[in-house]
Copies of this chain bind each other. A is one copy, B any other.
Amino acid sequence: MTNPLVQKLSSFVDLDEEDVSRVESLCYDVRRFKAKRNLIREGDRPEVVFLLLEGWACRYKVLPNGTRHIMAYLLPGDLCDVHVFILKEMDHSLALLSDAKVAVIPKQKMLGLIEQRPKLARALWWATLVDEAILREWLVNMGKRPAYDRVAHLFVELYLRLRAVGLAPDHSFDLLATQADLGDTLGITSVHMNRTLQKLKGEGLIQSAQGRLRIPDIQRLKNVTRFEENYLHLNRRTA
């Protein structure tokens, strides 16, 4: 059972033994939390970085009218806010969507790593840029696609990201978000989310049982939403 961050970064650069052990040593303070727990809140000043090892988390904002909008999913191997120390305070919150195992990394440790291991620094940069690219793609998803296509798009993305850290064997993965969570992510109500899921199931594009989502034919689901994989920058070889 490899470290998911090692696995993720390996899809971008070749890590040597020293790199791997440095990354693994980031995880000396590992904690288990229950679903719904906040990791950091809007207004807080970040002092640590979180690395998700198991479970899902999300970035979100709560609007004045009380509704919540989710702006990102953090999956195993995802590191949050590597560089956020520069800002005075968080403009959004981070919470767990499921029970989770999280490594808590002190800011100094993180900065040290970046300074001493240029190759890792580069790989972390890559991860940060991909996060931003995902944000842009989500914006397009919300702006230009109807609910049905939007859901399809999100599922394909989740599948690809989870597969990159070995968590989507057999064309399926554990869906650790509720329909309400998904709705808050895609800007639709949970009611409409539900009906949309039923439609996708009806078409045989997805299957689900006890919280596990199966995508029998990825290509078909990609076609629904005209999924373009380039924004995930998963294809090796760079500079």
- Which A residues have a C-beta under 8 Å from some C-beta of B? 42, 59, 61, 63-65, 67, 69, 71-72, 83-89, 91-92, 122, 125-126, 129, 132-133, 135-140, 142-144, 184-187, 226, 228, 230-231, 233, 235, 237-239
A123's closest neighbor in chain B, by CB?
A: B86
**Given A86-B122, A129-B87, A61 and B226 contact (CB-CB distance below 8 Å):** no
Complex Cα spacing A235 to B91, Å: 13
For A61, list chain B residues within 8 Å (CB): 136, 140
For A238, list chain B residues within 8 Å (CB): 86-88
For A233, list chain B residues within 8 Å (CB): 87-88, 91
For A69, list chain B residues within 8 Å (CB): 139-140, 143-144
Residue in contact with A71 in the complex, picked from B86, B140, B185, B230, CB distance below 8 Å? B140
For A230, list chain B residues within 8 Å (CB): 42, 89, 91
**Given A59-B136, A135-B135, A239 and B144 contact (CB-CB distance below 8 Å):** no
For A122, list chain B residues within 8 Å (CB): 86
For A72, list chain B residues within 8 Å (CB): 136
Residue in contact with A135 in the complex, picked from B67, B139, B226, CB distance below 8 Å? B139
For A185, list chain B residues within 8 Å (CB): 143
For A135, list chain B residues within 8 Å (CB): 132, 135-136, 139
A124's closest neighbor in chain B, by CB?
A: B86
Q: Are A129 and B226 in contact (CB under 8 A)?
A: no
Complex Cα spacing A139 to B58, Å: 14
For A63, list chain B residues within 8 Å (CB): 140, 144, 226
